[in-house]
Amino acid sequence: MLSVSLSQSVRRVLRAQVVCVLAVIGAVLAVAGVCAIFGGGAEALRAFAVPRVKAVAFGGVLGILSTAITARNVLQSSRAVAAGSHLGSAPLYSGLLGKILLVAGGTLLGLIYFDLGPLSIVLGYSTMPVAYLWAALPTNRPRPPKREINQVH
Protein backbone atom coordinates (compact mmCIF):
# COMPACT_ATOMS: atom_id res chain seq x y z
CA MET A 1 0.00 0.00 0.00
CA LEU A 2 1.31 3.45 -0.86
CA SER A 3 2.13 5.81 1.93
CA VAL A 4 0.53 9.21 1.46
CA SER A 5 1.55 12.17 3.55
CA LEU A 6 -0.98 14.15 5.55
CA SER A 7 -0.44 17.29 3.47
CA GLN A 8 -1.10 15.36 0.24
CA SER A 9 -4.29 13.92 1.70
CA VAL A 10 -5.48 17.32 2.90
CA ARG A 11 -4.82 18.90 -0.49
CA ARG A 12 -6.73 16.07 -2.16
CA VAL A 13 -9.73 16.50 0.16
CA LEU A 14 -9.71 20.30 -0.24
CA ARG A 15 -9.62 20.00 -4.02
CA ALA A 16 -12.51 17.53 -3.89
CA GLN A 17 -14.46 19.92 -1.66
CA VAL A 18 -13.97 22.83 -4.04
CA VAL A 19 -15.08 20.69 -6.98
CA CYS A 20 -18.15 19.47 -5.06
CA VAL A 21 -19.16 23.01 -4.06
CA LEU A 22 -18.72 24.22 -7.64
CA ALA A 23 -20.84 21.28 -8.87
CA VAL A 24 -23.64 22.17 -6.44
CA ILE A 25 -23.45 25.83 -7.50
CA GLY A 26 -23.68 24.68 -11.11
CA ALA A 27 -26.74 22.58 -10.28
CA VAL A 28 -28.40 25.55 -8.55
CA LEU A 29 -27.70 27.72 -11.59
CA ALA A 30 -29.08 25.02 -13.90
CA VAL A 31 -32.31 24.80 -11.90
CA ALA A 32 -32.55 28.58 -11.88
CA GLY A 33 -32.05 28.66 -15.63
CA VAL A 34 -34.84 26.14 -16.18
CA CYS A 35 -37.12 28.20 -13.93
CA ALA A 36 -36.26 31.35 -15.87
CA ILE A 37 -36.94 29.69 -19.22
CA PHE A 38 -40.31 28.35 -18.17
CA GLY A 39 -41.77 31.34 -16.55
CA GLY A 40 -39.83 34.04 -14.90
CA GLY A 41 -37.27 35.61 -17.11
CA ALA A 42 -34.06 37.27 -16.00
CA GLU A 43 -35.57 38.85 -12.90
CA ALA A 44 -36.79 35.49 -11.59
CA LEU A 45 -33.38 34.01 -12.39
CA ARG A 46 -31.68 36.72 -10.36
CA ALA A 47 -34.16 36.44 -7.48
CA PHE A 48 -33.87 32.64 -7.33
CA ALA A 49 -30.21 31.99 -8.07
CA VAL A 50 -28.22 34.75 -6.40
CA PRO A 51 -29.24 34.14 -2.76
CA ARG A 52 -28.95 30.37 -3.14
CA VAL A 53 -25.55 30.52 -4.80
CA LYS A 54 -24.29 32.81 -2.02
CA ALA A 55 -25.62 30.44 0.65
CA VAL A 56 -24.17 27.32 -1.01
CA ALA A 57 -20.79 29.06 -1.36
CA PHE A 58 -20.97 30.17 2.29
CA GLY A 59 -21.72 26.62 3.44
CA GLY A 60 -18.89 25.33 1.25
CA VAL A 61 -16.46 27.79 2.83
CA LEU A 62 -17.58 26.59 6.27
CA GLY A 63 -16.86 23.02 5.17
CA ILE A 64 -13.42 23.92 3.84
CA LEU A 65 -12.54 25.78 7.05
CA SER A 66 -13.78 22.78 9.03
CA THR A 67 -11.49 20.49 7.04
CA ALA A 68 -8.54 22.82 7.62
CA ILE A 69 -9.19 22.80 11.37
CA THR A 70 -9.40 19.01 11.40
CA ALA A 71 -6.14 18.69 9.43
CA ARG A 72 -4.35 21.06 11.81
CA ASN A 73 -5.61 19.10 14.83
CA VAL A 74 -4.56 15.75 13.36
CA LEU A 75 -1.08 17.17 12.67
CA GLN A 76 -0.79 18.50 16.24
CA SER A 77 -2.01 15.21 17.65
CA SER A 78 0.42 13.14 15.59
CA ARG A 79 3.32 15.39 16.65
CA ALA A 80 2.30 15.02 20.31
CA VAL A 81 2.17 11.23 20.01
CA ALA A 82 5.52 11.16 18.19
CA ALA A 83 7.04 13.22 21.01
CA GLY A 84 5.84 10.60 23.50
CA SER A 85 3.03 12.62 25.05
CA HIS A 86 0.23 10.74 26.77
CA LEU A 87 -2.16 13.52 25.77
CA GLY A 88 -1.91 12.91 22.04
CA SER A 89 -5.66 12.94 21.51
CA ALA A 90 -6.16 16.25 23.35
CA PRO A 91 -5.70 18.38 20.21
CA LEU A 92 -8.33 16.30 18.42
CA TYR A 93 -10.97 16.84 21.09
CA SER A 94 -10.16 20.49 21.76
CA GLY A 95 -10.18 21.11 18.01
CA LEU A 96 -13.55 19.42 17.74
CA LEU A 97 -14.99 22.03 20.06
CA GLY A 98 -13.53 24.80 17.89
CA LYS A 99 -14.92 23.13 14.78
CA ILE A 100 -18.40 22.88 16.29
CA LEU A 101 -18.26 26.55 17.33
CA LEU A 102 -17.09 27.58 13.86
CA VAL A 103 -19.85 25.70 12.07
CA ALA A 104 -22.61 26.71 14.48
CA GLY A 105 -21.44 30.32 14.70
CA GLY A 106 -20.89 30.54 10.96
CA THR A 107 -24.32 29.13 10.23
CA LEU A 108 -25.94 31.59 12.62
CA LEU A 109 -23.93 34.42 11.09
CA GLY A 110 -25.11 33.39 7.63
CA LEU A 111 -28.73 33.10 8.74
CA ILE A 112 -28.98 36.28 10.80
CA TYR A 113 -26.44 38.74 9.41
CA PHE A 114 -26.24 37.76 5.73
CA ASP A 115 -29.87 36.57 5.53
CA LEU A 116 -28.94 33.34 3.72
CA GLY A 117 -31.25 30.37 3.34
CA PRO A 118 -30.68 27.53 5.82
CA LEU A 119 -31.17 24.69 3.34
CA SER A 120 -28.70 26.18 0.90
CA ILE A 121 -26.10 26.65 3.65
CA VAL A 122 -26.56 23.02 4.71
CA LEU A 123 -26.37 21.91 1.08
CA GLY A 124 -23.05 23.72 0.67
CA TYR A 125 -21.69 22.32 3.94
CA SER A 126 -22.89 18.80 3.13
CA THR A 127 -20.45 18.64 0.23
CA MET A 128 -17.77 18.06 2.89
CA PRO A 129 -18.54 14.37 3.62
CA VAL A 130 -19.07 13.72 -0.09
CA ALA A 131 -15.64 15.19 -0.79
CA TYR A 132 -14.09 13.06 1.99
CA LEU A 133 -15.54 9.93 0.40
CA TRP A 134 -14.51 11.01 -3.08
CA ALA A 135 -10.96 11.75 -1.96
CA ALA A 136 -10.77 8.35 -0.24
CA LEU A 137 -11.55 6.46 -3.44
CA PRO A 138 -8.59 4.60 -4.86
CA THR A 139 -6.98 6.19 -7.86
CA ASN A 140 -5.28 4.61 -10.83
CA ARG A 141 -1.81 5.33 -9.55
CA PRO A 142 0.88 2.93 -10.70
CA ARG A 143 1.55 0.27 -8.12
CA PRO A 144 5.07 -0.33 -6.92
CA PRO A 145 6.69 -3.38 -8.49
CA LYS A 146 6.34 -6.63 -6.62
CA ARG A 147 9.42 -7.85 -4.86
CA GLU A 148 10.79 -11.07 -6.17
CA ILE A 149 11.53 -13.69 -3.60
CA ASN A 150 14.75 -15.50 -4.18
CA GLN A 151 14.09 -19.17 -3.82
CA VAL A 152 16.79 -21.62 -3.02
CA HIS A 153 16.58 -24.84 -5.07
- pLDDT tens column, 70-87: 888 888 888 888 888 777
Among 77, 69, 132, 126, CA closest to 102: 69
Containing structural domain, residue 31: 6-136
Q: Would residue 51 count as lying in a domain?
A: yes
- The pLDDT tens digits of the residues spanning 21-69 come to 999 999 988 888 887 788 777 787 788 888 999 999 999 999 999 999 9
Domain count of the fold of the chain: 1
Q: Would residue 147 count as lying in a domain?
A: no
pTM value? 0.80
